[in-house]
Amino acid sequence: MRPHVRKQISKSNNSGFTLIEVLVAVVILMVGLLGVMQALNLAIQTNLQNEMRTQGSMIGEAQMAKIKSLPFDNITGATERSLSVPVNMRSAIIDYTVTKKIDNVSSTTRRINVGVSWTHRGNHQDYVVSSVVTDPRAH
């Protein structure tokens, strides 16, 4: 008679992750997050450029409105005048340079050019507003 041999079946536990699987998952996750961070950085820079452009156009339009609100006889000069307008934007000071030029087209007409320029990260940007003003007494 043979002795009774009991067979033991080992149950392997396959319900967890191996270290290699975890490392591969972490690498895939990091590559995906790196792409998201690059896209986020690009979006922030584009948003800042648009904000600076909007601020530049507002400065130019405000200067034009200021000149056009003057009496016609006070809108004079064939000389260029410039001024600096510092603006606090996202904890940084952006210096906008405003250039105003008024040309006498005729004795009753003036051409006004207002230019706004600024530099950010080595990129020079310009915004120009032009208008023609006539003497209301001439009509």
Assess if residue 76 is contained within a domain.
Answer: yes
- Number of domains composing the chain: 1
- Please tell me whether the overall predicted TM-score, pTM, comes out greater than 0.75 for this model: no
pLDDT of amino acid 1? 59
43 sits in the region (left: phi over 0; alpha: psi -120 to 50; else beta) called alpha
Q: How far is CA 44 from CA 18, 30, 94, 102, 116, in A?
A: 39, 21, 16, 38, 23
Asked if residue 51 belongs to a domain, the reply is: yes
Residue 110 confidence (pLDDT): 93
Is residue 52, in this structure, part of any structural domain at all?
yes
What does the pLDDT read at residue 69?
Answer: 92
Q: What is the share, in percent, of the chain residues with pLDDT greater than 90?
A: 61
Query: What value does the mean pLDDT of the chain take?
Result: 88
Q: Tell me if 7 is assigned to some domain.
A: no
Tell me, yes or no, whether 36 lies in a domain. Answer: yes
Range of the domain at 71: 19-138
> Residues in the chain with pLDDT < 70?
1-14, 77-80, 139
Within a domain: residue 8? no
CA distance 61 to 83: 15
- The answer as to whether 98 is a domain residue is yes
